[in-house]
Amino acid sequence: MNYQPPAGLLCPSTVTSQNGPTLSRVVAGMWRMDAWQMTPQQRLTLIKRCLALGVTSFDHADIYGNYSVEALFGEALALQPSLRGQVQLVSKCGIKLVSPARPEHSIQHYDTSAAHITASVEQSLRALGTDYLDLLLIHRPDPLMNFDEIAGTFSRLRLHGKVRHFGVSNFSRHQFECLNRRIALATNQVECSPLHVAPMFDETFDGLQDQGVRPMVWSPLAGGRLFSGGDAAGERVRAVVQRIADELQQPFASVVFAWIMQLPSRPLPLTGSGRIEAIVDAVRATQFSLSPSQWFEILRAARGHEVA
């Protein structure tokens, strides 16, 4: 039986920047897929249900699931290869984990050399069962990163048809702009939630808005702390979000996603769940907005003080 999303609910598509791919307004994060205990057919079903909702973009990294998640996703996609043209595959590289899957790694460290980026892309392509990535990100800023070397590597990967667009993850505004001057970047994927508002105030989002580049946001629900965390900030935010959710007659998580998406840099939030109901909640957030007073009530609860 085909999955039927809630009536009228469809996630809009967007362009991350004029130099970026067309991604869905909500991106499905796959980093926990190895913990979802799904068969290949169940993984394929999840992909198809996401597509039915208009969630066409899927976020990966080479290291997710101890280097296993890309292959799990690729195994599912291989059951229906025609879906490749309907999805956008995002992946990241630049971290080396100490892992039985990589016995040659003796210490966890960053590696943004041309050789490592190229080898990581080749491995991601094999694991995902595809000829190209829609978007490749440097996973973390590397103290030894050479901006010219990275830009040259990106250019060669594009020339050879391996990767179509490029970006970074967890970069500061200055780090982003240093690389962006050498090769056009499509996004900076950073952490943001009502319990982590730093990008709103450290120039990360301001700089991206100025460049016309849309950030991607990981952990928008604070890794679940908004639902169950016992810290004071979590309790304050949870109470305010729940009251606003009741006022708007919207799910709790939808209000949080809407709060993030209302920022003028227009972030693209990632989900982190294998439950289609959780992805539906994220997509619902594209259908409504908070009033300015509601938005600032959540910010006040997050920071524990008034704006002035």
Containing 138, the helix (H) or strand (E) segment is strand 135-138
Whether 64 is catalytic is yes
Q: Which of the residues 64, 67, 110, 132 is marked catalytic?
A: 64
Strand, helix or coil for residue 286: helix
Ordered alpha helix ranges (H), 53-113? 64-67, 69-77
Concatenated DSSP letters of 231-251: SHHHHHHHHHHHHHHHHHT--
**Bridge-based pairing state of the strands 109-110 and 135-138:** unpaired
Measured CA to CA, the distance from residue 27 to residue 84 in angstroms comes to: 16
Centre a 10 Å sphere on the Cβ of residue 303 and count the other Cβ atoms it contains. Answer: 16
Enumerate the β-bridge partners of residue 89: 58
Measured CA to CA, the distance from residue 303 to residue 169 in angstroms comes to: 24
- Kindly report the length of the chain: 308
Look-up of token digits 């993984």: 43
HSE at residue 91, side-chain half, CA atoms within 13 A, is 33
First-residue to last-residue Cα distance in the chain? 55
Who's near 64: CB < 8 A, 6+ residues apart? 30, 31, 33, 34, 70
**Bridge-based pairing state of the strands 109-110 and 95-96:** antiparallel
**Measured CA distances, 2 to 20, 185, 274 (Å):** 32, 37, 18
> Which residues belong to the active site?
64
